[in-house]
Structure 1
Amino acid sequence: MAKDIKRLGKETLVYGTSTVLARLLNFCLVPFYTYYLLPQQYGAIATVFAAIALLSVVFLFGLDQSYLRFASDAEDKHKVFRQCFYGVLANALVLGGLLYVLAPQAARAWGLGEDFGLFQLAAAILFLDVLNMIAFTKLRLERRAWYFAGVRAFAIVVNVALNVLFLAVLHHGPKSILWANIGASLASLALLIPVWVPELKSHNPFCFDWKLQKEMWHFAWPFVPAGVASLLVSVIDKPILVHLVGVEQVGVYQANFKIGVFMMLLVSMFDQAWRPFFLAHAKDSDAKDTFAKVLSFFFALGSWFLLGISFLMPDIIQSNLFGNFHLISPNYWGGLKIIPLIVTGYFFYGLYINFMVGPVLTKKTRVLMWITLLGAAVSITTNLCLVPRLGITGAGWAVALSYAAMASALFAFTQKVYPIGYEYKKLILMSAVCVATVLAACYWHQAVWAEVVLLTLYPAWMGLILKKA
């Protein structure tokens, strides 16, 4: 068990190398954007990328998950890959064409008026990204983590370089961000040629197993409404904010929302390694004990990240550590109060990822649709109720509450279909220490010195609980 958990940690670290670099380089673009774009311009771009995130689920149609599930024990893995690739290609061609033609209607629906050129560029981004995704999924299944990390890292470097070139040097305006993404996706697709081209050139490349195809699509389709509903939790706030408080406030909200990248780093790193890990070890005699310990370790590390970001990032943003240059332009400081809410939401999403083991191993993935629809309903309801009263802070609360609802519902379902004896005593003690740390920080009026001391002591408390409790 210890060896397996150690390997999961190693793979998480390797995947995290690319993920950390990618997210950090993207995060470096946030202050860049806040100094080169007005909040209204940044708000428009954020709204388009919210649409891209949502539509990517429909373009991919859950076939990446189908590939993971069916290729893991298939005799002819080449055939599984081909069917997934051609399915995604056909889907992307049809949907990409429709989005390009209907870009004016899409722009108006998302509150951007007649600025439909952004959505035409979004169609190209979506087409390229979903083709990349199947090749990346193959690398994950084969545990070729370093190849995965290298391609991701290179693509992000290209993205950052093109952003600087188009926006700061050539002054092409907000559309530069979308063009940079297209360039990065093309670079990634080129580097993945050794992954996907040999698969398509293998024996009988156009021979389809229609029975397998039907089984794969049947397995995959619940991930579409589930994925859409899940993304609604994190993206539906953008169009709602556009209509209720204006595009400018969306820009302020998005700049601070991006601070949550540091929490999302941890969750993404874990997610990349976790799903192949529990599929590979599901038949082990001590599988459930292993999964229980993984949750405890994630809770300890995740809660530390949550507190660290919530305590320190607002102070760092407003500090003069960079001279006259701030991490985020002062024009965007009105959204600092949402940072703790966003990272709390991401922490709950990490718990949700832990509980994914139940529906996947029992092949009852359809429940994901209902659980994520619950999260979407909580998000929409909270946004509509709180945004008119609290502004962008209401949208922050919507993120935290919706992910909490999803994690709770998936936990209940997993315990019903695949009961796991989680280490509840440890989890309760860690939760108590986390709350006590927050209360102590508030008692000292969130003084920086007190926050640093509390965060320094926190890992020791978590380690003691994990070892003794």
Structure 2
Amino acid sequence: MSNIKKLASQTVYYGLSSIAARFINYLLTPYLTAVLTKQDYGKMGAIYSMIPLFNILFTYGMETAYFRFIQKKERVASINSTITISMLCSTVLLFALTWYSQTALASIASLKEFPQLIQLSIIIMALDALSTIPFARLRNEGRPLLFAFIKIAGIVINILATIFFLSYCNTFIAAHPNSLLNLVYNPADSPIKYILIANIMQSAFTLLFLSKWMLPEKWAFDVALWKEMMLYALPMLVAGLGGMINETFDRLMLGWWLPITYDFDEQRGIYNACYKLSILITLFIQAFRMGAEPFFFKQAEGDNPQKVYARVMKFFVIVISMMFLVVSLYIPIWKHFIASKHWVGLDVVPILLLANMFLGIYYNLSIWYKVSNKTRAGAYITLVGTAITIIINFLFIPHFSYMACAWATFCCYGSMMIMSFVWGQKAYYIPYAWKKLVAYIVIVVALFFIHKGAMFLWGNTWFGLLVAALLTYAYGWFIFLVERKEFKKLPVVGKWVK
């Protein structure tokens, strides 16, 4: 149980830092949805759909390769040096290529009129790429507190800089038109420019703090090792690109395929804001991945790791199913996290919550091809998911706008989850209690529809919240009764149960 306890504690710490990291937009969502127009919020959504995609390209699977290869203790120095040199060279090369291609990138993002936004985004991508391996080194060394401090400190800088630019500068310059602040701030510029500058400040600060872990102790490039790592990493690059297309490209597709009768910036602004309400599950999955990836690889070297993987999956599904209820049943509260002008899109939230549940389960399942060096399987599964995303969006965005994006995400992640489970059980069997886990998911979906039916019949918000509380409590008590023996094995919970 010490292994599960360690994973849980690291997930908590990584969770705190992930909340900060993912809240680059999330913590600012109420503020940004209030101060930005729906059109500007849509433009920001397009930019922040591109950045994660290119982050995958800039890191090309080397983060996962690092965790896989660093377990060989006798090669630690060579691995650190080789992967650092590789990342430095590739970042410089990709920065030059993307800078040269900025016009094409602006066209893809439907931002031809705002080339400066693309330039600032490229700088962010390069800085973030350089911090990838230093962060991986911290995670591998089991230093979640330092990891969390750097992440949170960076995000505080981002938040303060964003509020300074969007609120203080306008007010100050209006009162003092001849001030020195005019040298760095122009009220006529797009507000997205200053959001990106704040992000650059965060990325630069983060890289500065990570400088101790950025450079190797000895400079040496092992060509044979690099080839070995690339053979492992490149399928992860394909999987990562496909995964990020599935996760973020729908905001760009709205700009490509919506009829001209729609204001596509407004539509993707509404969708982008409502997407934030799947925040709890998204953040937990991000936190879990941070702690689980190095944990899973270390477990692979021990006795019967499959049993550990199966138990981790059980606890994971229990947590995210409860989170689904907490968000989906309490939308009347959560919706105040975004400006009321975006509430028209709230129907996508339960769909996206389920989609992200599927994605989290898929991340758990993906351990089979990572530890067995069959990373091509991950690429194939993700490419199928990407095809599903593109086809559904292409066919249905012209008719259903962002609702098509939500259902495409649901179908994509659901398909990837099923494919990975079926394939993985044949190639690397893990004794998942899959019937029980499926039952848990079906139950929470049924409870959601029971709540929805009660709201349809009576429609009172306070009554709906009361029903939500009763259903959430009932599910929690049900899980406690079913998993009572399992909970007794947990160090803290077990004492309470006894």
TM-score by length of 2: 0.88
What does 1:50-61 align with in structure 2 at a 5 Å threshold?
50-61=49-60
Q: Does 1:316 align with 2:333?
A: yes
Which residue does the alignment assign to 1:80? Answer: 79
DSSP 3-state at the match of 1:75? helix
Q: Which of 195, 204, 210 is 1:186 aligned to?
A: 204
Q: Do the aligned partners of 2:369 and 2:424 also contact (CA within 8 Å) in 1?
A: yes
Distance (Å, rounded) in 2 between the aligned partners of 1:149 and 1:289: 29
Q: What amino acid maps onto 1:182 in structure 2? A: I
TM-aligned CA deviation for residue 466 of structure 1: 2.1
Q: Do the aligned partners of 1:61 and 1:88 also contact (CA within 8 Å) in 2?
A: no
DSSP 3-state at the match of 1:422? coil
Distance (Å, rounded) in 2 between the aligned partners of 1:266 and 1:224: 23
What does 1:96-135 align with in structure 2 at a 5 Å threshold?
96-135=95-134
Q: Do the aligned partners of 2:327 and 2:334 also contact (CA within 8 Å) in 1?
A: no
Q: Do the aligned partners of 1:167 and 1:174 also contact (CA within 8 Å) in 2?
A: no
Which residue does the alignment assign to 1:220? Answer: 233
Distance (Å, rounded) in 2 between the aligned partners of 1:23 and 1:211: 36
TM-aligned CA deviation for residue 463 of structure 1: 2.0
Determine what percentage of the aligned residue pairs are the same residue: 29
Distance (Å, rounded) in 2 between the aligned partners of 1:317 and 1:264: 15
Q: Does 1:295 align with 2:308?
A: no
CA 25–369 in structure 1, closer or farther in 2 if over 3 Å, else same: closer
Q: What amino acid maps onto 1:365 in structure 2? A: T
CA 334–449 in structure 1, closer or farther in 2 if over 3 Å, else same: same
TM-aligned CA deviation for residue 304 of structure 1: 0.9
Q: Does 1:384 align with 2:402?
A: no
TM-aligned CA deviation for residue 94 of structure 1: 1.4
Distance (Å, rounded) in 2 between the aligned partners of 1:9 and 1:168: 39
DSSP 3-state at the match of 1:444? helix
What are the superposed Cα offsets for residues 244-272 of structure 1, whole Å, 9 maximum, x if unpaired? Answer: 14111111110111122211111111111
CA 180–219 in structure 1, closer or farther in 2 if over 3 Å, else same: same
Q: Do the aligned partners of 1:108 and 1:114 also contact (CA within 8 Å) in 2?
A: no
Which residue does the alignment assign to 2:179? Answer: none
DSSP 3-state at the match of 2:338? coil
TM-aligned CA deviation for residue 397 of structure 1: 0.9
Distance (Å, rounded) in 2 between the aligned partners of 1:424 and 1:235: 29
TM-aligned CA deviation for residue 283 of structure 1: 3.4
Structure 1 unaligned spans of 5+: 319-325
TM-aligned CA deviation for residue 39 of structure 1: 0.9
What does 1:88-237 align with in structure 2 at a 5 Å threshold?
88-171=87-170, 172=187, 173-197=191-215, 199=216, 202-203=217-218, 205=219, 207-237=220-250
Q: Does 1:343 align with 2:353?
A: yes
TM-aligned CA deviation for residue 432 of structure 1: 4.0
CA 431–255 in structure 1, closer or farther in 2 if over 3 Å, else same: closer
> Over the residues paired in the alignment, what is the CA RMSD in angstroms?
1.7
TM-aligned CA deviation for residue 423 of structure 1: 1.3
DSSP 3-state at the match of 2:329? helix
Which residue does the alignment assign to 2:303? Answer: 285
Q: Do the aligned partners of 2:67 and 2:297 also contact (CA within 8 Å) in 1?
A: no
Q: What amino acid maps onto 1:401 in structure 2? A: C
Q: Do the aligned partners of 1:99 and 1:119 also contact (CA within 8 Å) in 2?
A: no
Q: Does 1:260 align with 2:272?
A: no
Which residue does the alignment assign to 2:379? Answer: 369
CA 424–109 in structure 1, closer or farther in 2 if over 3 Å, else same: closer
Which residue does the alignment assign to 1:306? Answer: 324
Larger deviation: 421-430 or 5-14? 421-430
Which residue does the alignment assign to 1:357? Answer: 367
Distance (Å, rounded) in 1 between the aligned partners of 2:99 and 2:441: 48
Which residue does the alignment assign to 1:433? Answer: 443
Q: What amino acid maps onto 2:6 in structure 1? A: R
Q: What amino acid maps onto 2:481 in structure 1? A: L
Q: Which of 417, 420, 427 is 1:410 aligned to?
A: 420
TM-aligned CA deviation for residue 100 of structure 1: 1.8
Q: Do the aligned partners of 1:37 and 1:174 also contact (CA within 8 Å) in 2?
A: no
Q: What amino acid maps onto 1:28 in structure 2? A: L
What are the superposed Cα offsets for residues 171-208 of structure 1, whole Å, 9 maximum, x if unpaired? Answer: 452211110110000110111122224x2xx23x1x22
DSSP 3-state at the match of 1:174? helix
TM-aligned CA deviation for residue 124 of structure 1: 0.3
What are the superposed Cα offsets for residues 48-103 of structure 1, whole Å, 9 maximum, x if unpaired? Answer: 11111111111111111111111121413122112112211211111112222221
CA 395–158 in structure 1, closer or farther in 2 if over 3 Å, else same: same
Q: Which of 291, 315, 334 is 2:344 aligned to?
A: 334
Q: Which of 435, 450, 461 is 2:478 aligned to?
A: 461
DSSP 3-state at the match of 2:469? helix
DSSP 3-state at the match of 2:346? helix
Distance (Å, rounded) in 1 between the aligned partners of 2:326 and 2:403: 20
Q: What amino acid maps onto 2:348 in structure 1? A: I
Distance (Å, rounded) in 2 between the aligned partners of 1:123 and 1:35: 27
What are the superposed Cα offsets for residues 348-391 of structure 1, whole Å, 9 maximum, x if unpaired? Answer: 11101110110011100011111111111111111122222222
Distance (Å, rounded) in 1 between the aligned partners of 2:195 and 2:81: 32
CA 42–428 in structure 1, closer or farther in 2 if over 3 Å, else same: closer
CA 425–344 in structure 1, closer or farther in 2 if over 3 Å, else same: closer
Distance (Å, rounded) in 2 between the aligned partners of 1:454 and 1:121: 47
Which residue does the alignment assign to 1:240? Answer: 253
Q: Do the aligned partners of 1:107 and 1:115 also contact (CA within 8 Å) in 2?
A: yes
TM-score by length of 1: 0.93
TM-aligned CA deviation for residue 425 of structure 1: 4.1
Aligned pairs, how many? 455
DSSP 3-state at the match of 1:236? helix
Structure 2 unaligned spans of 5+: 171-186, 457-463, 487-498
TM-aligned CA deviation for residue 23 of structure 1: 3.5
